[in-house]
């Protein structure tokens, strides 16, 4: 698994365990919400400093954020079904 994806899944796992929104977590970490979201999706190359800040913010070890087994377990627990989207009314 790509290390960015591993980090992102673990970041999301510890954020949800802390019962924080992405916005609240981003504020604690010191990044924007969009940046935090892209980190969770594995779309950002994060620095060691960011890994450290995330670990400090969530009270975990930096190594916990790079644990591939934990990321795989968390990914398997996620549901892939989404609620159906509401249809938009088209005005004529």
Q: What is the pLDDT of residue 80?
A: 59
Confidence of residue 82 (pLDDT cuts 50, 70, 90): low
Confidence of residue 78 (pLDDT cuts 50, 70, 90): confident
Confidence of residue 85 (pLDDT cuts 50, 70, 90): low
**pTM of the model as a whole:** 0.81
Task: Kindly report, residue by residue over 21-77, the tens digit of the pLDDT.
Answer: 999 999 999 999 999 999 999 999 999 999 999 999 899 999 999 999 999 999 999
Distance CA 35, CA 68 (A): 22
The burial class, CB within 10 Å (0-12 / 13-18 / 19+), for 18 is: middle
CATH number of 3-73: 1.10.260.40
Domain ranges across the chain: 3-73
Q: Answer yes or no: is pLDDT of 81 > 70.
A: no
């Amino acid at each position: 698994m790509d290390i960015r994806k591993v980090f992102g899944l673990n970041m999301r796992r510890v954020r949800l365990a802390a019962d924080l929104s992405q916005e609240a977590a981003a504020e604690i970490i010191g990044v924007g919400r969009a940046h935090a979201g892209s980190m969770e999706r594995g779309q950002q190359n994060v620095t060691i400093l960011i890994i450290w800040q995330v670990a400090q913010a969530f009270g975990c070890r930096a190594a916990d954020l790079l644990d591939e087994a934990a990321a795989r377990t968390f990914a398997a627990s996620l549901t892939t079904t989404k609620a159906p989207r509401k249809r938009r009314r088209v005005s004529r």
